[in-house]
Amino acid sequence: MKEKKNFLSGLNDQQKAAVENVDGPTLVVAGAGSGKTKVLTSKLAYLVQKKKAWANQILCVTFTNKAANEMRNRVIKILGGNLNSLGWLGTFHSISVKFLRRHAEAVGLKSNFTILDTQDQKKLIKNICNAENIDAKKISPQFIIAIIDNWKNKGLLPNEVRLTKKNIFETQILKVYKIYQNKIKELNSCDFGDLILYCVKLFENHEEIRNIYSNNFKYILVDEYQDTNFIQNKWLNLIVNKNKNICCVGDDDQSIYSWRGAEIKNFLNFDKIYTDAKIFRLEQNYRSTKNILDTASFLISHNKDRLGKKLWSEGKKGDLVKLNCYKNGKEEARALGNTIEENIKRKDSLNEIAILVRAIYQTREFEERFLKIGLNYRIIGGIKFYERAEVKDAICYLRIVNQKFDDLAFERIINTPRRGIGDATIKHLHELSSTEKICLEDAARKLLELNKFKPKIKTLIKHLLELIDKWRVDLKKIKHFDLLKLILDESGYSAMLKNKKDLENENRIENLKELLRAMHDYDNLQGFLEHVALATSIDQKWEDERINIMTIHAAKGLEFNTVFLPGWEEGLFPHQKSLEEKGDLALEEERRLAYVGITRAKKNAHISFAMQRAWHGEWMDTLPSRFVGELPEEAIEKNEEPVKEVSDDFDFNQDNLIEDNEEYRSPGWARLKKKLLK
């Protein structure tokens, strides 16, 4: 009862003012760690408690079901009871479904319409492409879905799309879009993009329906407003009531999702859309030390397109933010491992340590280092490097070149990239292999000799086997990493990635480049394949706790005691491709990304860059990120001397694993050796 009565007493002055201002449009600029969710939850509870509105008269929109459930539970805790009437708290999509179930006929659907998932979409798009003779090898269904979704996020149905000259595939995709949209209507279905788009069309074309909701919703609350796209913002503007009682909470300095349609101008122009808007700034941070906040605030102050705020804390000044320069990426990974070892000695939890990278391929060097010294880790929002599909494909090609008895490798590459070799052919190979007690490759050669394949399949398998024979000869003449380049080109794998329009292909290509870089550390193919085998087989459940490795994008909303931010170099961070595509707009978003990374740290932040990175087997000089020069001198501690290069802890050589006469090893070496000897 005490909590119910005094829940506002736990708010600071800024938070309380934002909560108690209920009339008219309100924008709450909530800095990182400033209690954004607390304010939004308290405001919802305050409206109900003060009888400003019944619970079912408040529309509260979040971006995730997790956030919605968290808010619902907090409100119940504050007010007590079971708020079943809080039915309009949810995501944009879940609330849109409620609207459409009630008014489906108005948009050409029946109330029992189904919602297609991604797999359903892919299947339907693929069928349409086949019927229209559109080459799925050049334009993937996934890419088509992404373009269609982008159009829907801009509020465009097929007849409203105006083609540009930027994308040569748009004409074909628009054709698919028209057929696709008609087809799903026939199926009494819609996709996730339709849910919000149809609601907007519903409210635009049926004023009487729109008035039902704008009159019912006395208050609208919006979480993470900086992440809204065009259609979501329009959705909100259409149903806001005549009193314009809308409260949007977010942080323009954490707007990092333009690549998936988020428009920061929604946030920046809020007071232009609602000219009588009140703006509240939540600047007191409850997460990080003063030095971390000063570093983040000074960095983000270089952005021009922002409303502006300065985070502060009543907490400790804390350690200076560490800025370290290393000789190369390998030394960077080594140093991070050593620092984490020191944290372990202080009994710090691995779960409270995070490594945040700009690009997912950067995880490889850290993964390998941690495997070497026996530190347990997890990849959040992604897959471990050697388990990524394109990396496994490339390695399987190398494995079959290395030795023909590797049936698992042969089966993986026989139709990768797709050559038209189906399951029936593979089944035939397995049957002969089992009967004759021979490997799959020999089975394929024997069936060729016996002329047991259909002409087309015969040609395809003969060509593949000839390539494998050639690559085995090539391996005797050229380096193993140069061989992989040949394999990727001659197998058609490179062409598949380069020619196929797929949003994930850029990452796939970068991962393969990183694989090539990794191969340069080994003298021969056999040594590299042994390394991969051991790296992927080491038990990663040695300890319950794990270091968290993820991209900065994936880290938004999370916090850790210690955060490492490696790879702060020009071209990598800020990312060169982003700068080339969007110029200054991209630069500001990259800086916001850096701000998000720094503010994930509660106690310690480590920023680092390398003087050299491996590129196609050659060491290339790098420049520190321009963001390094934008850090405040008084809040950082510089280590400008590159770490002295030392020999590797070990090379995954089983013969050396239990030798006692080794040179100095890290604590992780002893831990690993102990595990291996069990």
DSSP secondary structure string for all residues of 57-87: GEEEEESSHHHHHHHHHHHHHHH-S--TT-T
Q: Is 37 a catalytic residue?
A: yes
Query: Which among 463, 371, 470 is positioned nearest to 417, based on CA atoms?
Result: 463
**3-state per-residue secondary structure call for 148-197:** HHHHHHCCCCHHHCCCCCCCCCHHHHHHHHHHHHHHHHHCCEECHHHHHH
Residue 544: phi and psi, rounded to 5, are -70, -35
Q: Is 36 a catalytic residue?
A: yes
Calculate the dihedral angle through the C-alpha atoms of 149, 153, 155, 157, rounding to the nearest 10 degrees: 0
Residue with tokens 């323009």: 252
Contact 373, 649 (CB under 8 A): yes
**DSSP 8-class letter at 282:** E
254, 362, 551, 622: the active-site residue:
254
C-alpha to C-alpha distance for 465 and 617, rounded to whole angstroms: 29
36, 74, 152, 234: the active-site residue:
36
Dihedral sign for Cα 532, 535, 539, 545, please: negative
C-alpha to C-alpha distance for 649 and 261, rounded to whole angstroms: 45
Burial class, 414, CB count within 10 angstroms (exposed 0-12 / middle 13-18 / buried 19+):
buried
What's the token pair of residue 271? Answer: 């007071």
Q: Is 411 a catalytic residue?
A: no
149, 191, 194, 223: the active-site residue:
223
The three-class DSSP label of residue 247 is strand
600, 602, 613, 671: the active-site residue:
600
16, 37, 290, 665: the active-site residue:
37
Q: Is 346 a catalytic residue?
A: no
Element (H, E) at 447: helix 440-449
56: how many CB neighbours lie within 10 A of its CB?
A: 15
Q: Is 254 a catalytic residue?
A: yes
Residue with tokens 């029992």: 112
C-alpha to C-alpha distance for 225 and 250, rounded to whole angstroms: 5
Q: Is 120 a catalytic residue?
A: no
Element (H, E) at 249: strand 246-250
Active site residues: 36-37, 223-224, 254, 600
